[in-house]
Amino acid sequence: MAEMIDPFGRAITYLRVSVTDRCDFRCVYCMAENMTFLPKADILSLEELDRVCSAFVRQGVKKLRMTGGEPLVRRDIMKLFRSLSRHLESGALEELTLTTNGSQLGRFSHELADIGVKRVNVSLDTLDPDKFAAITRWGKLDQVMEGLAAAKAAGLQVKINAVALKGVNDDEVDRLVSWCGDEGYDLTFIEVMPMGDIGGEDRVEQYWPLSMLRAQLAEKWTLDEIDYQTGGPARYVRVKETGGRIGFITPMTHNFCESCNRVRLTCTGTLYMCLGQEDAADLRAPLRASESDGLLDDAIMEAIGRKPKGHDFIIDRRRKQPAVSRHMSVTGG
């Protein structure tokens, strides 16, 4: 099997795919409330997404993660999951998974488990219904909780992703740790990232370094360093009191680029070699130019040859502009 090696000797084995820029939430750190979504003609069809993902699997990708927007709001999305599951059956792909806001897990958890999805990441920043409504603008916490229960019943492993937001959920971190321990969920805290205009919200005010969050946790919990990897950027500890794992993703305070093994594909077929850089490759044109995959394979390899060493995220307190202009919902979480 082919292997994709970037200019810094890193094997690229992980592809994150945004299957839609649409979402049924409008989280304050991700989107403006009145978003303008992409026209349908710009969006890759499910068949095209299958072709691109399969090309990456041929070239050595072992882990595929579907993201959005909210991936489960895309019409007929389970057709794509079912089709891609053939790579799990063949052994070419080690993991097919998704990141979701949880709103649709009540509908899809059992089907996802049946086709070979083993675990899901669920974005959940608070356990307070009023706060949840304020953060997501459109979301209902009880619907997400029903989805989590369905995922658990289907046998899916659940990891909760919580964005650390100063003045918003900084008083809830102990409750999140306790709840995840009780439910058997892993928990990952993520620093807010400066991506896209979010309509009047100020990321400088939202930004809460995870070093401070971790110090706060250490006042109540015993955090033991562990050598645990999921192929992502999180660094994990074990909570002695609950037995649960906590991950920390720190793009701002600790650059995790040296071991980066991933690239990101948007729903329009644009490949970003780095979340925090604007350089990108158009895979839609070669995909649509030929029914064979030669042009597509060449375009992928050329893009991997341009993968940068790292990102340039910074919270700019002077200009208050996002470091990257595109929204997280476009690139995929």
What is the tens place of the pLDDT at every residue in 154-168? 999 999 999 999 999
Among the listed residues 319, 312, 307, 329, the one whose alpha carbon sits nearest the alpha carbon of residue 8: 307
Q: What is the mean pLDDT of residues 96-113?
A: 98
Angle between helices 210-218 and 173-183 (to 10 degrees): 70
* Assigned token pair, 27: 């989280």
What is the rounded distance in angstroms from the CA atom of residue 104 to the CA atom of residue 101? 8
What pLDDT is recorded for position 237? 96
Q: Is the pLDDT of residue 207 over 60?
A: yes
Q: What is the mean pLDDT of residues 103-123?
A: 98
30 is in an annotated binding site: yes
Q: What is the mean pLDDT of residues 144-173?
A: 96
* Percentage of residues of the chain with pLDDT beyond 90: 72
What pLDDT is recorded for position 330? 52
Q: Is the pLDDT of residue 265 over 60?
A: yes
Please report which residue ranges of 158-232 form alpha helices under DSSP H. Answer: 173-183, 203-206, 210-218
What pLDDT is recorded for position 104? 97
Which is more confidently placed, 295 or 255?
295
Which of 64-68, 142-146, 246-250, 325-329 shows the lowest mean pLDDT across its residues?
Answer: 325-329
What pLDDT is recorded for position 324? 47
Which is more confidently placed, 67 or 228?
67
Residues 6+ apart with CB under 8 A from 238: 223, 224, 226, 244, 245, 246
What pLDDT is recorded for position 112? 98
* Assigned token pair, 134: 């304020």
Let me know if domain 14-331 sits in CATH 3.20.20.70: yes
Q: To which H or E segment does residue 153 belong?
A: helix 141-153
53 is in an annotated binding site: no
Confidence category of residue 238, pLDDT binned at 50, 70, 90:
very high
Residues 71/117, Cβ–Cβ less than 8 Å: no
What is the rounded distance in angstroms from the CA atom of residue 226 to the CA atom of residue 121? 20
Residues 161/180, Cβ–Cβ less than 8 Å: no
264 is in an annotated binding site: yes
Q: Is the pLDDT of residue 171 over 80?
A: yes
What pLDDT is recorded for position 278? 81
159 is in an annotated binding site: yes
Confidence category of residue 139, pLDDT binned at 50, 70, 90:
very high
Q: What is the mean pLDDT of residues 200-225?
A: 85
29 is in an annotated binding site: yes
Which of 17-21, 289-293, 323-327 shows the lowest mean pLDDT across its residues?
Answer: 323-327
Kindly list the strands in the beta sheet with 95-100, ordered across the sheet, starting from the edge strand earlier in the chain.
223-225, 235-239, 245-249, 186-191, 157-164, 119-123, 95-100, 63-67, 14-18, 262-265, 270-272, 280-282
What pLDDT is recorded for position 161? 96
Q: Is the pLDDT of residue 127 over 50?
A: yes
Q: Is the pLDDT of residue 333 over 70?
A: no
Burial class (CB in 10 A: 0-12, 13-18, 19+), 43: buried
262 is in an annotated binding site: yes
260 is in an annotated binding site: yes
180 is in an annotated binding site: no
What is the rounded distance in angstroms from the CA atom of residue 113 to the CA atom of residue 155? 7
Residues 6+ apart with CB under 8 A from 252: 191, 192, 193, 207, 209, 313, 314, 315
What pLDDT is recorded for position 228? 85
Burial class (CB in 10 A: 0-12, 13-18, 19+), 200: exposed
What is the rounded distance in angstroms from the CA atom of residue 279 to the CA atom of residue 281? 7
Compute the 3-state secondary structure of the chain and give helix, strand, coil in percent, each to the nearest 5. Answer: 35, 20, 45
Q: What is the mean pLDDT of residues 269-277?
A: 89
What pLDDT is recorded for position 295? 98
Average pLDDT, the chain: 89
65 is in an annotated binding site: yes
274 is in an annotated binding site: yes
267 is in an annotated binding site: no
Confidence category of residue 318, pLDDT binned at 50, 70, 90:
very low
Name residue 216's amino acid: Q
